[in-house]
Amino acid sequence: MAILELKLAGDPVLKQHCEEVTKIDKRIKKLLDDMAETMYASEGVGIAAPQVGVLLRVVVVDVDKKRYELINPVITYREGSAVDSEGCLSCPNLFGDVERAEKIRVKYTTRFHKEKELEAEGLLARCIQHEIDHLNGRLFIDIAKNISHGKKQN
């Protein structure tokens, strides 16, 4: 595994629309491993492939000590809305309030080629929505309110 260089806001790679993964091969499995290592090294709770310069629909999230690897994630259901503070590994020391669906269902493919559907709420739902935004070239600072500079509170 390797810690990859994080792309920061202002880098045009973060504004691109990512392609679907068509073949889950060794390269994708290594990407998943490296993304996870990069995320843990930066104490993040989620990371999307464009943040390490790869324009593919791949996301890794770790919430409540459970890791989720989502290949080609698609949100199939949304319910409610909630506003909470977010940050991003690509926007160091920036925080802002973002409105997201409170509860979602997301379908995705695993590294073992299995099609799965996950129901998520709270922080997990928020993280998945934030990361899928990355796959569509959208950063939280594009949609956040009350953006502030500072260290993370929790």
- Positions that interact with Ni ion (CB under 5 A): 88
Asked if 32 and 40 touch (Cβ cutoff 8 Å), the reply is no
Tokens found for residue 39? 């995320």
Distance CA 35, CA 97 (A): 25
Closest CB 78 distance from Ni ion, rounded Å? 19
CB closer to Ni ion out of 108 and 134:
134
Amino acid present at 152:
K
Is 131 annotated as catalytic? yes
CB closer to Ni ion out of 88 and 132:
88
Residue 152, Cβ neighbours under 10 Å: how many? 9
Closest CB 12 distance from Ni ion, rounded Å? 16
CB closer to Ni ion out of 28 and 94:
94
Tokens found for residue 122? 């709270």
CB closer to Ni ion out of 83 and 115:
83
Closest CB 65 distance from Ni ion, rounded Å? 20
Closest CB 92 distance from Ni ion, rounded Å? 11
Quickly count helices (H) and strands (E) in the chain.
2, 8
Closest CA to 7 of 99, 153, 137, 114: 137
Amino acid present at 39:
M
Task: Please identify the residue of the shown chain whose CB is closest to the bound Ni ion.
Answer: 88
Distance CA 32, CA 48 (A): 10
Catalytic residue numbers? 131
